[in-house]
Amino acid sequence: MSLIPPKDLTLETSLVQDLPYLSENVVPRRGKILAIVTSTDKMGSSDKSTGYELTELSRAYYVFKANGFEVDIASPLGGKPPVIIDDDDMGAFDYAFLNDSIAQYKANHTIPVEDIIPDEYEAVFFAGGKGAMFDFPDNKAIQSIIRTYYQSNKVVGAVCHGPAALVHVTLDNGRPLLENKMVSGFTNDEELLLIPDAKSIFPFLLQDKIVAQGARLNKGDMYLEKVSHDKNLVTGQNPWSTWVLAETMIKQLGYTPKYREITDEENAVHILSVYNTQGSQKAKEVIKEMYQTEKKKINRVLIASHSIIAAMKGDIGRFYDILGLVTYIKKYDSAEVKI
């Protein structure tokens, strides 16, 4: 716990107008994007609470807004959907979303999906959250929106458990939408590590269903960014894929994404990716470069969480390696290393 920094209380007061990405160099309006979240608050017959993941909605919402698109939010039942807020994952944009009166009105007064007018939007985005496994796959209105958008070359995006919306969509030619598509989504390894009895709780495991529909699964490291882009279908593996997924959707819409300063969380994801592929010494070299030359910050809470994941998997060597990276970052954060 001594390696974890104290919570930055100023984050909780973040406002849209204080974030340069949103308040400066405003992009003229280009159209509208529809975001869809789950209405399910319990995982099947279990007592486990669920809902949509706030960070997956908030980050995509602001990427779309920053790039000139208005965003409407819908859900299967409409109204106020259940939301999951993980304090450890919250950043400035996520708190800004909670403090944004317009965003909060839309999030608390979602449009029922059956009332959506598809022609009003250029793209649809499905946020994750485990509830999506229950009310997305067999919803006929959702299936119709996806089929219409995909076949008319509008952009369809989904992250984490959001791709559950895609698994039962059949195109007009009678073939599954996912057949022969490169697709990412929450993997079995990620699901079963945190919910060992997931097979008995969910109607299916998302990875299994994606593969069964004939997709080519594009699987990345556990709990690290991985995005697949197959023509007008854009999918992401987990919450840490949301930023890049949303910007990939903007590219598919024909625009160059507005410049955005990479977050400390994304820097942490990069460090972990370097560690996975090139080892701890190279990861330390990248950390040093980030602090000394690039003047970047790294979210060491996220890196520390991966040490816990290693311990849960019984990989003690990896556990100590990653703790070593956290200690190394702390020295820079504490100015114990001259930069």
Measuring CA to CA, which residue among 222, 192, 195 is closest to residue 208? 192
Percent of the chain surpassing pLDDT 70: 96
* Domain positions in the chain: 9-252, 264-333
d(CA 299, CA 265): 5
What stretches of 233-274 adopt beta strand conformation (E)?
233-236
* Structure tokens given for 135: 């009310």
**Could you say which of 3.90.550.10, 3.40.50.170, 3.40.50.1820, 3.40.50.880 is the CATH number of the domain covering 9-252?**
3.40.50.880
Give dist(CA 45, CA 55) in Å, integer: 26
At residue 278, φ and ψ (nearest 5 deg) are -130, 0
User: Is pLDDT above 50 for 336?
Assistant: no
Classify 31 as helix, strand or coil.
strand
Q: How far is CA 204 from CA 95, 169, 201, in A?
A: 33, 16, 8
pTM of the model: 0.94
Task: Write out pLDDT tens, residues 128-146.
Answer: 999 999 999 999 999 999 9
Task: Specify the pLDDT at position 337.
Answer: 46
**pLDDT higher at 1 or 240:** 240
Q: Which helix (H) or strand (E) holds 148?
A: helix 140-151
Q: What is the pLDDT of residues 19-60, one digit of tens each?
A: 999 999 999 999 999 999 999 999 998 989 999 999 999 999
Radius of gyration for the alpha carbons in the chain, expressed in angstroms and rounded: 20
